[in-house]
Amino acid sequence: MKKVFCMCAGLFMLAATAQAGLVQPFGIGARNAALGEAVSAHATDAFAVYYNPAGLSNIKTPTLSAGTAIYDAQAYYRDYKIVDSKGEDRTRELGIQNTYWKTDKDPIINPHMGFAMPVNERISFGIAAYAPYGFRMKTEKDPFHRPTGFNAWESYYTRVAVTPAISYKVNERLSLGFGVSMGRSEAGGGKTSLYDPIQLGILKEIEKTQGIPVNKESLKQIGIYEHIDKSEQGGKFITSEMEMDDSINWSWNAGIQYQPTDKLSLGLTYRSRTPGNFKGDFIHNGQAIGKVVMDYDHPEAIQAGMRYAFTENFAMSFDMVWANWSIGKHQAEYVTIHTIPDETMAFINKVAFGAVSIDRGMTAEQIAASPGAMADVEATKNQMIDGIKKTKDMGYRRDWDNKIQYKLAMEYVLNNNFTFLAGYVYDPTPVPADTFDNIWPDNDRHVMTAGFSANVTTNWTIDFAFQHIRTFDWGYRDDINGTSEHLNKVASDLLLEKDAKMYIKNKGYLWGYNLTANYRF
C-alpha cells in the first residue's frame, strides 16, 4: 500500500504542473462529467472528495483513478459598434475592421487523478488532485481585428487543488464526510489601448484640477494630442498586462449521504469560500513597471441532490447547486507603479510645459529662460510623478447575482460490463448586463452530456464522457447594447469623449472529451 501512496503523490505533482491551461472543468472524472455532475447523492469514485466526501463510503476496494479532459471551445461575436454621445456609429472611423468574428480553437488539456480506499468497516479515505474551477480566454492582441481586445485579449482565473478527505459510515444508510483542499491559484489578463493608459490618466487628473477637457479638440489646441502614445493599425500596440498568483490557499467541504430506502438516495454538500490573495506584476508594453494586488474570493456553494433507482438497471438523479456569487461586489486591483517608462517621462515633460504655458501665458522659450517658470514646470512634473506612483484601485464593479444550477442525469446498466450515462445542466450566468465585459465574458449555459462506464477486466474500468455546451438560450447574448459600464468606459476612452457606448452580441460553444481509467486493487 505504501507504493500506491507514493505513486499517487507523483501523479498529483504531475497534475499540478499540467493544469496551466484549464477552463471551467464541467466535471471532475469522466463518470461525473457524463452525469452532468448530478452525483452528490451517489458519488462512487475518488472525486467524491469534491462532490460529496460522504460518498467515499461507497468505495469497497482501494481504487486509483487517473484521466484527462480535452476541451475545444470557440466564441462568436457580432454587431460590434462604438456609438458616440450623439448616437452616431464611429466604429469605422476608429479603424476597427471587423464587427463580426470568432475566436480560434485552442484545445485545452485538464488532467485529474485520485485514490480512495476503505480504512475499516466505518472509515474511508480519499485524496484527489483536480481543478475545481477555472477560466481562460485568449485571442490576438490586435484590437483592430478583434475589437474586444480593447477591453481584454486575455483573461484567466484558475485554481488547482489537492484534497484529502475521510468519510464515516454511521450506519448502513447514513454517511458523513469532510475534506480540506490545499490549492494554488493564478489570475491575470491583458488589453490593448488606443491611447497610452498612463498618459491618459495624467490628462484626466489635469481635467479635474485645471478644467482642461480630455477630448481631441482641446488636446490639439494645447499641442498635447500629437504627443500621446497611440496604438497603430498594423503597427505598434499599447498593451497593459497583469500576472498574479496566490501561492497557497485553503478551503474545505463537508457532506452527508443518506439512503432512506433501497431505491432513494439523498446527498448534501457544502463547499467553503476560497480566499484569493493575489500578488504579481503590472506590465506596460512588455516591461514590468509596477506591482498589483488583488483580493478576490471564489464563493461558497451548496449542492443538494437525490437519486432514485427505478429498477436494478435504471436510475435518475437530480441536483441543484447554489453559489454565493454576490460576494463579488467589486474586483479590486491595487496597482503601484515603481518605474515610469521613458516615453511617459517625455510626455510628462511636455504636459508640464504646456500647463505652465497656459497658466503664465508664456511660450516654451520664455519658460526655459525664466527660473520661476521652470520651477513651476518641475513642481508640476513632480506632482504628476507622485500621482502616477500612488497606489490606485484599477478594478471593476461586479455586483454578481447568486444563481442556482440545475442538473439532471440518468444511468442505464446494459449488462455487467457496460453502463450508459447521460445528463443535462442549465447553468445561468451570475454576470448582469451592466457589468459584463470580456474579462468575464460569461453567459447562460446549456450542458448536454453522454458517456459510458465499461468494465474492461476484473480490475480495470474505463469511463468516457462527451460534452457539448451552448450558451445563452441557443443564440447570442443580446442584452449588451450600451448597457455595460465597463465596455462603455472603453468606448469613451477610444473616442475621448464622455457618454459613448459599446454594443456587442456574443455566444460560445464548447466540446469536451473526458476519459478516466480506474484500477481496483
Examine residue 386 and state whether it is found in any structural domain, yes or no. no
Q: CA–CA separation, 167 vs 186, rounded Å?
A: 31
* Exposure letters 384-419 (e unless 16+ CB within 10 A, then b): bbeebeeeeebbbebebeebebebbbbbeeeeeeeb
Where residue 161 sits, what CATH number does that domain have?
2.40.160.60
Query: Who wins on pLDDT, 204 or 134?
Result: 204
H or E, element range at 143 = none
H or E, element range at 222 = none
Amino acid 4: pLDDT: 45
C-alpha grid cell for residue 222? 494645447
Give the single-character DSSP code of 417. T
Rounded (10°) CA dihedral 145, 146, 151, 152: -120
Examine residue 214 and state whether it is found in any structural domain, yes or no. no
Nearest to 56 by CA among 9, 120, 129: 120
Residue 274, classed as helix, strand or coil, is strand
Residue 13 scores a pLDDT above 60: no
Find all residues with CB under 8 Å of 68, minimum gap 6, and list them: 109, 110, 111, 112, 514, 515
- Which residue in this structure is represented by grid cell 441557443? 474
Cβ atoms of 15 and 160 within 8 Å: the answer is yes
Q: Compute the mean pLDDT over every residue in the chain, rounded to the nearest whole number.
A: 90
- The domain total for the chain is 1
H or E, element range at 115 = strand 108-118
Residue 235, classed as helix, strand or coil, is coil
Q: CA–CA separation, 62 vs 46, rounded Å?
A: 10
Q: CA–CA separation, 500 vs 504, rounded Å?
A: 14
Q: What is the CA radius of gyration of the chain?
A: 27
C-alpha grid cell for residue 457? 477486466
Q: Which residues pair with 238 in a beta bridge?
A: 193
Query: Who wins on pLDDT, 37 or 19?
Result: 37
What are the helix (H) ranges across 132-265? 197-210, 216-221
456 C-beta neighbours (distance < 10 Å), count = 11
C-alpha grid cell for residue 318? 437530480
Domain carrying residue 76: 2-185+248-277+301-311+405-516
Nearest to 136 by CA among 185, 84, 183: 185
44: left (phi over 0), alpha (psi -120 to 50) or beta: alpha
Find all residues with CB under 8 Å of 473, minimum gap 6, and list them: 444, 446
Q: What is the largest CA-CA distance in the chain?
A: 96
Examine residue 177 and state whether it is found in any structural domain, yes or no. yes
Amino acid 287: pLDDT: 95
Residue 18 scores a pLDDT above 70: no
Residue 394, classed as helix, strand or coil, is coil
Residue 290 scores a pLDDT above 80: yes
Query: Who wins on pLDDT, 77 or 269?
Result: 269
List Cα–Cα distances, 352 to 33, 221, 307, 339, 359, in angstroms. 60, 15, 71, 19, 11
Examine residue 197 and state whether it is found in any structural domain, yes or no. no
499 C-beta neighbours (distance < 10 Å), count = 13
Q: CA–CA separation, 229 vs 232, rounded Å?
A: 10
Q: CA–CA separation, 291 vs 307, rounded Å?
A: 50
Amino acid 223: pLDDT: 81
Amino acid 472: pLDDT: 67
Residue 47 scores a pLDDT above 90: yes
List Cα–Cα distances, 73 to 80, 135, 408, 511, 518, in angstroms. 21, 12, 23, 6, 27
What are the helix (H) ranges across 335-417? 342-360, 364-368, 371-389
Averaged over 384-397, what is the pLDDT? 92
Confidence class for position 110, pLDDT limits 50, 70, 90: confident
* Exposure letters 120-134 (e unless 16+ CB within 10 A, then b): eeeebbbbbbbbbbb
Cβ atoms of 428 and 42 within 8 Å: the answer is no
pLDDT digits (tens, 9 = 90+) for 190-242: 999 999 999 999 888 888 877 778 888 888 887 888 889 999 888 889 999 99
C-alpha grid cell for residue 194? 488606443
Amino acid 21: pLDDT: 36
pLDDT digits (tens, 9 = 90+) for 480-519: 999 999 999 999 999 999 999 999 998 888 899 999 999 9
Examine residue 368 and state whether it is found in any structural domain, yes or no. no
Examine residue 378 and state whether it is found in any structural domain, yes or no. no
C-alpha grid cell for residue 97? 475592421
- According to the per-residue pLDDT averaged within each range, which of 7-16, 363-372, 422-431 is highest? 422-431
Examine residue 163 and state whether it is found in any structural domain, yes or no. yes
The dihedrals phi and psi of 354, each to the nearest 5 degrees, come to -65, -40
Nearest to 37 by CA among 418, 320, 263, 314: 320
C-alpha grid cell for residue 354? 504646456
- Percent helix, strand, coil in the chain (nearest 5)? 25, 45, 30
Examine residue 233 and state whether it is found in any structural domain, yes or no. no
Please measure the distance between the N-terminal and C-terminal CA atoms of the chain and give it in whole angstroms.
10
231 C-beta neighbours (distance < 10 Å), count = 21
Q: CA–CA separation, 492 vs 513, rounded Å?
A: 42
Side-chain-facing half-sphere of 235: CA atoms under 13 Å = 7
Residue 101, classed as helix, strand or coil, is strand
Confidence class for position 346, pLDDT limits 50, 70, 90: very high
